[in-house]
Amino acid sequence: MPLYREVGLSVARIAIRSRPIKALDVATGTGFVLLSLAKFSQLSCGVDISFNILRIAKSKARKEHLIDIEYINADAENLCLRDRIFDVVTCNFGIFFFPNQTEAIREMTHALKPGGRLIFSTYSQIGSYVLASQFHSAKEWVRIIKKAGLSLVDMQRHTPLYMIIVAGKVS
């Protein structure tokens, strides 16, 4: 199984454990994590900056008879969503593409209800020269999520290459 799918399943499993009623998947891409969440949520919403990729996600959802999913074409750094809507917000291998990760996390935090969880996966610092500034150490991720108003709940390193971070919204 490709790494993206393996990690995506882990992100979805963690999100589902929190029994989300309303779930948001940011940088949803073709909807891999979103479709998993939709099977367990009353409201599921996927956000992506690419309109064309959202069309693919919608098509995949129709094939699985998951028709009650909302899709929003938006930038993660400017979600334009009402505050305190979602029980869980996920982002699978998308966070490192955002130019301002702190602002994107802050936007996702606004969308979370108090007690909600942000769950995202990312590569760890692996020495990539292409996106080197976008990959952070565990310590730096903790600083970023705290700056956005979240507290660390759990950090799982699955290999030296990637980690899943779970952060909670207190208020």
| Mean pLDDT, range 95-124, rounded to an integer | 91
pLDDT > 90? residue 88:
yes
What is the per-residue pLDDT for 129?
43
What is the per-residue pLDDT for 125?
63
- Which residues, including other chains, have CB under 8 Å from residue 95's CB and lie 6 or more apart? 27, 101, 104, 105, 120, 121, 122
What is the per-residue pLDDT for 18?
77
Provide the pLDDT confidence category of residue 127 given band limits of 50, 70 and 90.
very low
Rounded to 10 degrees, the C-alpha dihedral 81/22/105/128 comes to -120
What is d(CA 69, CA 35) in angstroms, rounded to the nearest whole number?
Answer: 9
pLDDT > 90? residue 49:
yes
> How many beta carbons lie within 10 A of that of residue 74, not counting itself?
16
According to the per-residue pLDDT averaged within each range, which of 31-35, 97-101, 150-154 is highest? 31-35
> How many beta carbons lie within 10 A of that of residue 130, not counting itself?
7
Q: Residue 41 in contact with residue 22, Cβ under 8 Å? A: yes
What is d(CA 60, CA 66) in angstroms, rounded to the nearest whole number?
Answer: 9
Question: What domains appear along the chain, each with residue ranges and CATH number?
Answer: 3-169 (3.40.50.150)
Instruction: Give the residue from 117, 88, 91, 87 showing the smallest Cα distance to 104.
Output: 91
What is d(CA 18, CA 40) in angstroms, rounded to the nearest whole number?
Answer: 10
Q: Residue 155 in contact with residue 2, Cβ under 8 Å? A: no
What is the per-residue pLDDT for 47?
97
